[in-house]
Amino acid sequence: MVVDLGKITERQQEMWSTGDFHRIGVGLLVVGEMLVRSLHVHAGEKVLDVAGGAGNTALAAARRWAEVVCTDYVPELLRHAERRAEAEGLSLRTQVADAQQLPFEDGSFDVVTSTLGAMFAPDQLRTASELLRVLRGGGRLGMANWTPQSWIGSQFALLTQFVPSPPGLVSPGVWGTEERVRELFGDRVLSLETRRQQVEICYHDTTGLFDLFREWFGPVATVWRTLAEPQREKFRDSWITLADEFNVARDGTCEMPFEYLEVVAVKA
């Protein structure tokens, strides 16, 4: 079966443009801080953040006085990054770009990062090749990818029960496994290290968290708009039930651990 990755990319771009992921991503900024620390980003290095959204990781690198370019294919998110950089007095350049076709010369950057972003590009082999292509030999590549068994991974599995993924599309969750990452990068890296990390999102309760995601998180908002009653209520109840399974708060509020795989590689 031939998968039309171009059309899937267009639909995904529309999905991530729905709502405002910054409302969710602002609670995950520590992921980017931890990644640039693991990469030992230094002053003056040229850093490219791919599928960087509102700039969490790009801003973390800019705070280390690196020369940073933040890319995403949703222009509205990049405008958030620009405003945040201006508010903090940081030097940051943004550019609209697709992770599957980066508009940069070979070997242009010392460090390439992607935090919870490039993993969603439908053409995984091409995305992996592009991340490495724009990185110089001996440069460092860092990624943070949701694991399949994480709450986010489980949530995406739930979404596909209500709105199935296109046939033949490989799940983005495989980026959260060391086996798949090693398969994608192969002998093009000198070294590759992975570690499981965790970040938490706190909210008033899981019912309110659903309302937050339904309003601002593109994938949930898209499913919600696609469904008709009574499927909407079934989806809402299933989403909250799943969230309750992962919720570790015992005071009626919500503390949701999100597991992800941190990847640090050195290009051959």
Show me where the domains of the chain are located. Answer: 5-148+165-200+256-267
3-class secondary-structure state, position 171 = coil
pLDDT given at position 1:
60
Given the candidates 3.40.50.150, 1.20.810.10, 3.30.210.10, 1.10.10.10, the CATH classification of the domain at 5-148+165-200+256-267 is 3.40.50.150
This prediction's pTM: 0.96
Average pLDDT per run of 10 along the chain, which is 268 residues long? 83 93 94 98 98 98 98 97 98 98 98 98 97 98 97 95 90 97 98 97 97 96 95 98 97 96 98
pLDDT given at position 4:
86
Please tell me whether the peptide bond between 148 and the residue prior to it is cis, using omega within 30 degrees of 0. Answer: no
pLDDT given at position 166:
84
Which of 38, 44, 100 has its CA nearest to residue 68?
Answer: 44
CB atoms within 10 A of CB 87: 8
How far is Cα 161 from Cα 87, in angstroms, rounded to an integer?
Answer: 41
Cβ proximity of 219 and 162 under 8 Å: no
